[in-house]
Amino acid sequence: MTGTDREALIGALSAEEIAAIEREAAHLPRADSAAIEALRIVQGARGWVSDESVRAIAELLGMSPAQVDSVATFYNLIFRRPVGRHVIMVCDSVSCFVMGCDRVRERLEDTLGIRPGETTEDGRFTLLPIVCLGACDRAPVMMVGETIEGPVDPEQLPALLERYP
């Protein structure tokens, strides 16, 4: 591959993304160890990780696209498909189960008209299941973007969702 091809591939990433990935890689003994950081940085900027981004990360870190994708698909917080503006993760682990998380999920599905793994047609919300969010004193809990919401009253969900336009 010529230098120009390489530049074109990496060019799918912004200068800010490349600088952020290189800052992370500086702490690590090998460039390919920064694969997860790179995926997170790209997702942070774009919302999800496209095939084009996978190829660019691979080129930047000296990996094959298949290697990068095998890492990406292991981790549930790396999105290889577009998601809504707000990703809602509803905890279904034991403390939240005791406190009634099934009702929260059912009410969310009804209100949004989607099932876990789906995105609303207007691109506003994606609904996902998640393991224990580590906020069990506020069970039942869910996370909207980076915000923990809890205890969630299923009856108040429509009002709660209004805060996320």
Partner 1 sequence: MTAATAQKPLTGRIETQGGYVDLEAYEAAGGYAAARDAIGGMTPDAVRDLVKTANLRGRGGAGFPTGVKWGFVPPKDTGMKYLVCNADEMEPGTFKDRFLMENDPHLLVEGMILGAYAIGARTAFVFIRGEYAQAARALDSAIEAARARGYLGEGAFGGRFELDLSVHRSGGRYICGEETALLSALEGHRGQPRTKPPFPPASGAWGRPTIVNNVETLCNVPGIVRHGADWYQQLGRGEDAGTKLFGVSGRVRRPGLWELPMGTTIRELLEEHAGGMQEGYRFRGLLPGGASTDFLVEEHLDLPMEYGAIQAAGSRMGTGTMIIMDDRVCPVQMALNLQRFFARES
Site string for partner 1, 55-94 (x = CB under 8 A): ---------------xx--xxxxx----------x--xxx
Site string for partner 1, 93-132 (x = CB under 8 A): xxx-xxx------------------------------xxx
Residues comprising the chain, all counted: 165
Reduced 3-state DSSP string for 25-94 = HCCCCCHHHHHHHHHHHHHHHHCCCCHHHHHHHHHHHCCCHHHHHHHHCCCCCCCCCCCCCEEEEEECCH
Q: How many residues bind partner 1 (CB under 8 A)?
A: 40
Residue 23 CB, nearest distance to partner 1 (Å)?
9
Element (H, E) at 144: strand 142-144
Omega cis (within 30) before 140: yes
User: Per rule CB under 8 A, is residue 136 in the interface with partner 1?
Assistant: yes
Chosen residue from 13, 21, 114, 133 binding partner 1 by CB under 8 A: 133
Of 2-10, 12-20, 36-44, 110-118, the segment contacting partner 1 by CB under 8 A is 36-44
Contact 89, 143 (CB under 8 A): yes
Contact 131, 118 (CB under 8 A): no
Question: Site residues (CB under 8 A) for partner 1?
Answer: 24, 27-30, 32-37, 39-40, 70-71, 74-78, 89, 92-95, 97-99, 130-139, 143, 146
